[in-house]
């Protein structure tokens, strides 16, 4: 990516997306490898504030990849993330879990009693961090330090407020 962009990929991401989105300065840097390439360790070297998680979730779930009316993310890719296409990722160990391009996907229709398929994308971070992109422009996030990743019971309750099946 560095060669394609002609610059450091992570710095490009900060300038292109994180700063215009108004993420906190803690998201502007990451832990890097110690070799000459100095690659960003995006999996284990990022620090986000809760507000950053919300802004990233809303960028996808509510704003269709736009920041201040400017399309920053490819619409077709946002549609894939939000499960608006027929492809729902690769099986991830169970009949209701799949994974595609950095996003986990939960097949929620059975748990919510839907009469048709319902796929809900979510981001999951180390130790118990999650951002769930729900229908009806709803966003649910959680941060814990006990390796607890569960959100199904919460989504079932949120479904009572805004029917996710329709």
Residue with tokens 């000459």, as numbered in its chain: 36
Give the separation between CA 97 and CA 36, rounded to whole angstroms: 38
State pTM to two decimals.
Answer: 0.89
Residue 53 has pLDDT above 90, yes or no: yes
Residues 34 and 56 in one domain: no
Residues 39 and 92 in one domain: no
Residues 18 and 65 in one domain: no
> Given pLDDT bands bounded at 50, 70 and 90, which one contains residue 68?
very high
Cα-atom radius of gyration of the chain, to the nearest Å?
17
Residue scoring higher pLDDT (83 or 37): 83
Residues 41 and 89 in one domain: no
Please tell me the predicted confidence (pLDDT) of residue 30. Answer: 85
Give which of 35, 37, 77 is closest to 60, Cα–Cα: 77
Output the average pLDDT for the chain.
Answer: 92
Please tell me the predicted confidence (pLDDT) of residue 145. Answer: 78
Give the separation between CA 87 and CA 142, rounded to whole angstroms: 27
Each residue of 21-42: pLDDT tens digit? 999 999 998 888 777 777 776 6
**Angle at alpha carbon of residue 85, lines to 74 and 57, rounded to 5°:** 55
Residues 83 and 140 in one domain: yes
Range of the domain at 148: 50-166
| DSSP per-residue letters across 27-65 | GG---B-SSTT--B-TTTS----HHHHHHHHHHHHTTTT
The mean per-residue pLDDT over the stretch 68-72 comes to 97
Residues 64 and 115 in one domain: yes
Each residue of 95-135: pLDDT tens digit? 999 999 999 999 999 999 999 999 999 998 877 889 999 99
Give the CA dihedral 11, 30, 104, 60, nearest 10 degrees.
-40
Please tell me the predicted confidence (pLDDT) of residue 148. Answer: 67
């Amino acid at each position: 990516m560095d060669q394609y962009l002609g610059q450091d990929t992570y710095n490009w991401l900060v300038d292109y997306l994180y700063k215009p989105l108004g993420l906190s300065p803690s998201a502007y840097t990451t832990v890097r490898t110690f070799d000459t390439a100095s690659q960003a360790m995006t999996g284990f070297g990022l620090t986000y504030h809760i507000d950053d998680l919300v802004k990233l979730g809303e960028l996808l779930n509510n704003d269709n990849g736009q920041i201040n009316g400017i399309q920053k993310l490819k619409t077709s890719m946002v549609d894939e993330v939000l499960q608006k296409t027929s492809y729902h990722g690769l099986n991830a160990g169970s009949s209701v879990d799949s994974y595609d391009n950095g996003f986990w996907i939960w097949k929620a229709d059975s748990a919510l009693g839907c009469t048709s398929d319902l796929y809900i994308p979510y981001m999951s971070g180390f130790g118990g961090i999650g951002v769930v992109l729900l229908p009806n422009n709803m966003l649910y996030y959680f941060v814990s330090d006990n390796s607890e990743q569960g959100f199904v019971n919460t989504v079932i309750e949120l479904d009572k407020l805004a029917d996710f099946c329709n």
